[in-house]
Structure 1
Amino acid sequence: MQLELVEGDITAQTVDAIVNAANSSLLGGGGVDGAIHRAGGQEILAACRHLRATTLPHGLPTGEAVATTAGRLNARYVIHTVGPVWDPADDRSHLLAAAYRNSLVLATELGVASIAFPAISAGIYGWPLTDAATIAVRTARDVAPSFPVRFVVFNRPAAEAFRNALAL
């Protein structure tokens, strides 16, 4: 299994699947979620609205994953997953690991040849970066998909956290 690290814009990646750190509504938001919806265009939002009107009327549960078209992105799919909000009084690391695991399982079912992940929950959801990176890398190694897994982070501190996790 190949793990890669890129410091840059996840919406600029050319892969089969881009993972969206979505909110449960699936209807866009801030951070990575907003960037993916803006770059991918209305096709992604239309697909998410369809999911909400049919199979996910109450939204996507934390830790679960669902795929839509990638719209105008250089990918075939966007895999939306909801990471947990960090709470120092409540260990939700199993939910963060589930977001990565379920995304990788879905990607395998879709037959993708490559995938790009953001640092799920490490932005506005407040997950400590070092811990988020460790969970991401450990989960990818545990699942061990047959395709390359690329972690795409947006700044130097995130890149350093993932670099350290990859070195473990």
Structure 2
Amino acid sequence: MQLTVVEGDITQQDVDAVVNAANNRMRGGGGVDGAIHAAGGPEVLEDCVRRFPDGLATGDAGWTTAGQLPARWVIHVVGPNYRIGQTERSLLTSCYRRALEVADELGVRTIAFPLISAGIYGWPKDDAILAAVETLRGTPTRVEEARLVAFGRDAYDAIRAVVDREVQE
């Protein structure tokens, strides 16, 4: 699998699936979740309510329509909230692994990920980047391209540095 890094808006990525950093309730929220629901339109929320009436557990993943997004599917993952004591790294890496498993079930070839839990959920950014890169590189999948979408230049530079370092090692 090719791992790429781009700076931009995850809602504008022309890929088979985008990954949404959702909350347990699966009813929309702030950050990436709010942006995906806003850009995808009401179909995304309607599908979340229908498919996940009880939400999802932390570390798990499930898919819905992408509504009006350029992607075909949204793969929702529930990242750990570091700020409230969900500090087990396995919960974070499970999000990336489970998203790839769901992608394989759907036949996804291209997928775009945000940096899960590194925003309002407070996961230390350097470790969030390492967890993403290590898990995406180390998980067997039929996905051909996994794209890490950085929101802002500082995030792009930090992710790019880890990806470049991992390639050299």
**Which TM-score applies when normalising by structure 1?**
0.93
- 1:102-143 alpha-carbon deviations (Å, 9 max, x no partner): 001110111011000000001000011111010001000111
> CA RMSD, aligned part only?
1.4
Give the 4+ runs in structure 1 shifted more than 6 A: none
Any stretches of 5+ residues in structure 1 without a counterpart?
none
Q: Structure 2 counterpart of 1:155, which letter? A: G
2:137 to 118, 136, 141: 141
Counterpart of 1:153 in structure 2 is 150
Counterpart of 2:50 in structure 1 is 50
| 2:14 is the counterpart of 1:4 | no
1:130 to 126, 131, 143: 126
Any stretches of 5+ residues in structure 2 without a counterpart?
none
Give, in angstroms, the shift of residue 89 of structure 1. 6.7
1:72 to 68, 72, 75: 68
Pairs aligned (count): 164
| 2:54 is the counterpart of 1:95 | no
Q: Is the CA contact 2:5–2:160 (under 8 Å) kept in the aligned structure 1? A: yes
